[in-house]
Amino acid sequence: MDNIVVIDTSVIISALIGNKGPSREVIRRCLKGHLQPIISNALYSEYQEVSKRQNIIDICPLTQDEIQGLLNAFYSISRWVSIHYLWRPNLIDESDNFVIELAIAGNATMIITNNIRDFNNSEISFPELKIVTPEALLKR
């Protein structure tokens, strides 16, 4: 599949807290099989941790059970990837390095994020890997 993607946590959270919008459409496309998301243990843990933050719960129209149900559905269609080689792209936010490493390990064509600037200053270039916002993806 050409549409192997990494869905950044910012997109998952935006989809959870918004009733509609580009992030929700990206998740919908994953669930319908138009995009193949890949996930790792680190990304799974981040999704779980961030979705349980009180400030997210306070603004999310879904109950905790509904949030977990949606995440479980997303996990069930995601391809789990083990990362055996750490590239250390040395992003400004060190905690985002694993997202690029996952994308490279899983042969992803894109990282879909609401935080493009977090991924723009890598010390290692991966020209075949596109960093796009949900809006940009939907315009393709």
pLDDT digits (tens, 9 = 90+) for 2-55: 699 999 999 999 999 987 899 999 999 999 999 999 999 999 999 999 999 999
pLDDT for position 90: 57
In the block, which residue shows the tokens 């890598």?
A: 122
Nearest to 6 by CA among 97, 90, 78: 78
The answer to whether residue 125 scores a pLDDT higher than 90 is no
Q: Report the range of poorest mean pLDDT among 38-42, 107-111, 126-130.
A: 126-130
Judging by DSSP bridges, how do beta strands 130-132 and 36-39 pair with one another? unpaired
Q: Say if residues 30 and 77 touch (Cβ distance below 8 Å).
A: yes
Domains, the chain: 4-139 (3.40.50.1010)
pLDDT digits (tens, 9 = 90+) for 82-105: 987 666 655 566 667 888 889 999
Strand order in the sheet with 4-7: 79-80, 36-39, 4-7, 110-112, 130-132
